[in-house]
Amino acid sequence: MLHAEWPLALFTLLGQAAAGIYLAVVLVREILARRSDAGQAIKATVLPSLVAGGLMIAAAIVSFLHLGSPLGAYRVLLQVGSSWLSREIAATMLFGLLWLGSVVVERRGGAGLLLGRLTALAGVVLVLCMSMIYQSSVIPAWTSAYTMVSFVATTLVLGGLGMLALRPGVEGVLPVAGWMTLAGLVLQLGGLPLYLGQLAQGSAAGRASLTLLMGAWQPQMWSFLVLGSLTAVAAAVVWQRRVQSLRVVYALLLVGLVGEAMARVIFYAIGVPVAVG
Amino acid sequence: MGQQLGFYLNQQFCMGCKTCAVACKDKNDMEIGVNLRRLTEVSGGGFAKVGDTYVPEVFAYWIGVSCNHCDHPKCVENCPTGAMHKNPEDGVVSVDQTKCIGCRYCTWSCPYGAPQYSEQRGKTQKCDMCADYRAQGKDPACVTSCPMRAIEWGPIDELKKKHPDAVVAVHGLPDPLMTSPNTIYTSHKSAVSGGRK
Ligand code: SF4
Ligand code: SF4
Ligand code: SF4
């Protein structure tokens, strides 16, 4: 299943990184605004806010590569009432519009935090819509609640590490990045045994996914486990020791990113549908 | 809604010759790998002890599926463009080729693997119960091609009346509660039937 899905793997990773970084931006702003004023808080987080928007635009462009007939893409919003895919695109556009609105307002010196909060909320809604697409399929490896757990986890990890790499010296960044990264990895690694148990006890398609995971995709699985654990430990050390060396935080981002990318590759690779013939 | 159409398959007669699948492929001019009607073999069994010896007790039968034009089609629910739709007149589920954008969400949504993505066309293809043939008063290609006369089509209520022994749940098929399919089977003697009518 993977060969055809790399645009989706990239789209979900980029979209989740964008939503996560923007969430981190808003959390850091909340901390800073309490100590100084909203204007200062916004100023200190301009760069990650711009990067989050750029990543979401890149995600939207990549999503077109997944379509067999991209010219009709405007029709994708027509079934918001029933299709999670329509809702996902609606949430992506909402995030984009709110983000653009907040950038414009902030550039004009408007110091309100509300627009940013709404943008972060749209990002969270987007991540939930993304996971519901897979949860409402007939692919046992995807219908599990672990899909949402791991999508939220990727959002937290990439958001936390991305923020740390972009603004390592800013007050509030270390605790926000530390909490996000650790919470994400605890969810993702901790939920894994339950998920594997679910697959083992499920339908033939679920067991086929497990066979793939334990067979052809075992090296990637181990890579994810090792890199994920390493990221969690390193993030905790960086947070506790208040490490600000750029080399260290870039290395941490790289290790975390490769781990999450590995998890996503596995996700698509083991998607075996319940089907006949 | 008018009368919901459906298929009937007699597993006792089906010998797995795949003529229906080829007829469908030919009629719809599908590329390699895109199969709107498919056959799956279900086999099992082993040796059974009879007195002092062991005798083979094995079985094999075929399940033929295309699309079941379900009452609760997940494919329609999940399609973001409305290309996948259920005809209010006859309940037939089909893809409007002018609206499909080839996102393939429907292929992840059908427990029967009915919607099939065509790389060549960049769109999903699916059984429409040979709508053009039906409009001309003809039978679907798969039905007429079957040398065993194992496939029938028509209003599902009439098919159920005509074949009171037929069921929707056959061992080897997904749980019919997922989408409420409109294909009924006279199950093979070796198929463990769920017995739901
Ligand atoms: S069999 Fe599959 S494609 Fe056909 S109507 Fe049911 S869910 Fe949709
Ligand atoms: S591939 Fe076409 S028919 Fe299938 S869900 Fe996407 S737009 Fe709908
Ligand atoms: S009704 Fe037509 S499209 Fe459907 S399986 Fe039969 S031949 Fe194929």
> B120: which 2 tokens?
């060549």
Q: Is A58 helix (H, G, I), strand (E, B) or coil?
A: helix
What residues contact A109, with CB distance under 8 A and at least 6 apart? A39
How far is CA B78 from each of CA A11, A233, B18, B84, rounded to the nearest angstrom? 19, 40, 30, 9
Provide CB contacts within 8 A for B41, sequence distance 6+: B16, B60, B61, B62
Tell me what pLDDT residue B43 has. Answer: 87
Number of neighbouring beta carbons within 10 Å of residue B81: 26
Q: Is B64 helix (H, G, I), strand (E, B) or coil?
A: strand
What is the tens place of the pLDDT at every residue in A203-222?
889 999 999 999 999 999 99
pLDDT for A260:
97
Reported as a single tens digit per residue, the pLDDT across A119-174 is 999 999 999 999 999 999 999 999 999 999 999 999 999 999 999 999 988 889 99
Q: Which residue in A69, A84, A276 is closest to B63 by CB distance? A: A276
B101 lines ligand 2 (CB under 6 A): yes
Most distant pair of Cα atoms in chain B: their distance: 67
Please give the Cα distance from B21 to A80 (Å, whole number). Answer: 35
> Which H or E run includes B56?
strand B53-65
Q: With 90 as the cut, is the pLDDT of residue B190 above it?
A: no
Burial class (CB in 10 A: 0-12, 13-18, 19+), B151: buried
Beta strand B183-186 pairing with B5-10: parallel
Q: Distance (Å) from the C-alpha of residue A35 to the closest C-alpha of chain B?
A: 46
With contacts defined as CB-CB under 8 Å, which chain A residues touch B112?
Answer: 275-276
DSSP H or E stretch at residue A9: helix A6-35
Looking at residue A223, what is its pLDDT? Answer: 96
Say whether A249 sits in a helix, a strand or coil: helix
Distance CA B27, CA B24 (A): 5
Q: What does the pLDDT read at residue B10? A: 95
- Which residues on A lie below 8 Å from B185 (Cβ)? none
Distance from CA of A69 to the nearest CA of B (A): 5
- Is residue A274 helix, strand or coil? coil
Over residues B7-66, the pLDDT tens digits come to 999 999 999 999 999 999 999 999 999 999 999 998 888 898 999 999 998 888 999 999
Pocket probe mutation, ligand 1, options B7, B9, B75, B127, max atoms within 8 Å of Cβ: B75
Q: For position A3, what pLDDT does the model report?
A: 57
Q: Where are the beta strands (DSSP E) in B78-143?
A: 84-86, 93-95, 116-118, 123-125
- Checking if the pLDDT of A41 tops 90, the result is no
Would you call B101 and A77 a contact, using CB atoms and an 8 Å cutoff? no
- The average confidence (pLDDT) of chain A is 93
pLDDT for the residue B71: 97
In chain A, whose CA is at the least distance from the CA of B172?
A: A276
What pTM does this model have? 0.93
Task: State the Cα–Cα distance between residues A271 and A38, nearest whole angstrom.
Answer: 45
Average pLDDT estimate for A21-43:
89
Nearest residue to A45 via CA among A173, A181, A157: A173
Radius of gyration in angstroms for the set of CA atoms belonging to chain B, rounded to a whole number: 18
- Nearest chain B residue to A7, by CA: B103
Chain B segment 117-146 residues within 8 A of A by beta carbon are 117-119, 121-124
| DSSP-assigned beta bridge partners for residue B116 | B125
Q: Which two tokens stand for residue A273?
A: 């549908």
The pLDDT of residue A2 is 53
Residue of B nearest to A142 (CA): B108
Q: Which domains does chain A have, with CATH numbers?
A: 6-269 (1.20.1630.10)
CATH class of B5-186: alpha beta
E-state strands within chain A: none
Structural contact between residues B61 and B191, judged by C-beta atoms closer than 8 angstroms: yes
Cross-chain residue pair B121–A142, CB shorter than 8 Å? no
- Domain boundaries in chain B? 5-186
Residue type, B16: G
User: Residue B191's pLDDT is what?
Assistant: 75
What is the C-alpha to C-alpha distance for residues B57 and B46, in angstroms, rounded to an integer?
5
> pLDDT of A224-276, one tens digit each?
999 999 999 999 999 999 988 899 999 999 999 999 999 999 999 999 988 77
- Partners of residue B118 on adjacent β-strands: B123
| A82 touching B (Cβ < 8 Å) | yes
User: Closest Cα to residue A156, out of A186, A189, A184?
Assistant: A184
